[in-house]
Amino acid sequence: MTRLPRLSIPGIPQHIIQRGNNRQVCFASEDDFTAYAHWLEESAKKYQFKVHAWVFMTNQG
């Protein structure tokens, strides 16, 4: 069964997380962190959204 579309209300903040499948590592090196942060910044500009806070948490399981 596919996921239902997410409700996105303008002006309401969203809490978004990313996890690896089956608890796999998403970021294998410091370069991975740097690249992801860059893509986040570029996407925010392109799609006109604001990132109020973010953190890389490598120990969440």
pLDDT-above-90 percentage for the chain: 36
pTM over 0.85: no
**Which token pair is 43?**
């996407």
- Name which of 11, 59, 18, 57 is nearest 39 in CA terms: 18
Largest CA distance in the chain: 36
Q: What are phi and psi of 51, to 5 degrees?
A: -105, 115
Helix (H, G, I), strand (E, B) or coil at 31: helix
CA–CA distance, 7 with 28 (Å, rounded to integer):
32
2-53 per-position pLDDT tens digit: 888 888 888 888 888 888 888 788 888 999 999 999 999 999 999 998 999 9
For the chain, the domains span: 25-50
